[in-house]
Amino acid sequence: MNEHPEVSVIMNCLNGSKYLREAIESVYAQTYNNWEIIFWDNASTDNSSQIARSYDSKLRYFRGETTVPVGEARNLALQKAQGQYAAFLDCDDLWFPSKLEKQVPLFEKDQKVGVVYSNCDIIDEKGRIIIKNIMDGQFFEGNAFASIFRNMIIPAWPTVTMRKSFIESVGGFVSYSQADDLDILLKIAYIATFAAAKETLASYRIHSNQLSKQYYRLLPEVISIYDYWANRADFNHPNKLQYINSNLSKQYKLSAESAFNLLDNAKEVRGYLYNSLKFSFTVKMFVLWCLSWLGLKNARKTIKVIKASFFHKR
């Protein structure tokens, strides 16, 4: 193992064995060699441990006694990291071989750069590309805070590498289960600049075990992030409340719609719909709220019939 690895690759794992070997191999395939993997096993019960331990000493394996939120697990992994930079790779995503080679020099050009990211493909469970080049040429660089805060759009997580000193200066990761990436990138963007390697250097995998479409589970964490910026004394952006309210409205709508489609408890679903309507009235949310009184199965069937009839007429 390198005595002084420049990049610590943070891999947090909870029962991620299905794609794990492929993810690790994409690190070992890097054309930039000065790295270590900090593998934090979040008390997995599958064979992730055996897979991770099968590699050489460039992969340093650690295991937690209990499962903790991913934000806390990332902090635990970072405590073991020796590198100047921290790159993040979840166990179902992949890097292209030149990922670190293209990103590390962008840090060395400018000491104010806190985050380097790149373009990314979205792939399915079999590795087939669903969406190519998700940034679509729209990279934000330099002072990126306003761009992120306005739309709450962040780089795809497997593309991100950070200067570790900036992670430490903002207090590390908050103990969130899903919104840890949004929180840390906003905080670093507030004190540092961003740079982009403007090519595709990673693949983000979407599969059946993910929770990304369960927006209602993300909602409390997103509200907590908005509260942080709304109440931060030294943050006085002129459009602060406008941006926060606009994004909260979107998040309430996404949460209500995903709850309607995925949950079976009608009372709980109506709660999400009601909160969305209370925050910002839309006809769509009102119709879903009315239909929910039919029972969720009947409501979903009704929507399918309406959609089928609409497209048939067209």
86, 184 contact by CB (below 8 A): no
186, 225 contact by CB (below 8 A): yes
Same-domain pairing of 84 and 193: yes
Helix and strand tally (H, E) in the chain?
Answer: 12, 9
Same-domain pairing of 119 and 17: yes
Same-domain pairing of 29 and 93: yes
Q: How far apart are CA 276 and CA 251, in angstroms?
A: 9
Same-domain pairing of 145 and 36: yes
Is the pLDDT at 30 greater than 50, yes or no? yes
Is the pLDDT at 208 greater than 90, yes or no? no
- What band does 152 get if pLDDT is binned at 50, 70 and 90? confident
Is the pLDDT at 151 greater than 90, yes or no? no
Same-domain pairing of 256 and 188: no
Q: How far apart are CA 216 and CA 270, in angstroms?
A: 12
Identity (one letter) of the amino acid at 243? Y
Radius of gyration of the chain (CA): 21
232 falls within a domain? no
Same-domain pairing of 189 and 293: no
Same-domain pairing of 13 and 112: yes
230 falls within a domain? no
146 falls within a domain? yes
Is the pLDDT at 183 greater than 70, yes or no? yes
Say which CATH number the domain at 119 has. 3.90.550.10
241 falls within a domain? no
**φ, ψ dihedrals at 74, nearest 5°:** -65, -40
User: Is this model's pTM higher than 0.85 or not?
Assistant: yes
168 falls within a domain? yes
Q: What is the pLDDT of residue 136?
A: 78
Q: What is the pLDDT of residue 2?
A: 46
Domain boundary among 172, 205, 238: 205
User: Could you list the residue range(s) of the whole structural domain that residue 114 is in?
Assistant: 7-205
Total of domains in the chain: 2
Same-domain pairing of 301 and 166: no
Same-domain pairing of 252 and 105: no
Looking at 143-157, 283-297, 300-314, which range is the least confident one?
Answer: 300-314
Q: What is the pLDDT of residue 314?
A: 54
Domain boundary among 205, 240, 264: 205
CA–CA distance from 225 to each of 158, 160, 181, 290 (Å)?
21, 20, 11, 31
Q: Counting Cβ atoms within 10 Å, is residue 201 exposed (0-12), middle (13-18) or buried (19+)?
A: buried
Domain boundary among 174, 205, 236: 205
126-138 pLDDT, tens per residue? Answer: 999 999 988 877 8
Identity (one letter) of the amino acid at 140? F
Sign of the dihedral through C-alpha 272, 276, 282, 286: positive
234 falls within a domain? no
* Averaged pLDDT, 89-106: 97
Q: What is the pLDDT of residue 179?
A: 93
* Averaged pLDDT, 90-109: 96
Same-domain pairing of 29 and 148: yes
Is the pLDDT at 202 greater than 70, yes or no? yes
- What band does 312 get if pLDDT is binned at 50, 70 and 90? low
Same-domain pairing of 149 and 276: no
116, 199 contact by CB (below 8 A): no
228 falls within a domain? no
Same-domain pairing of 139 and 284: no
115 falls within a domain? yes
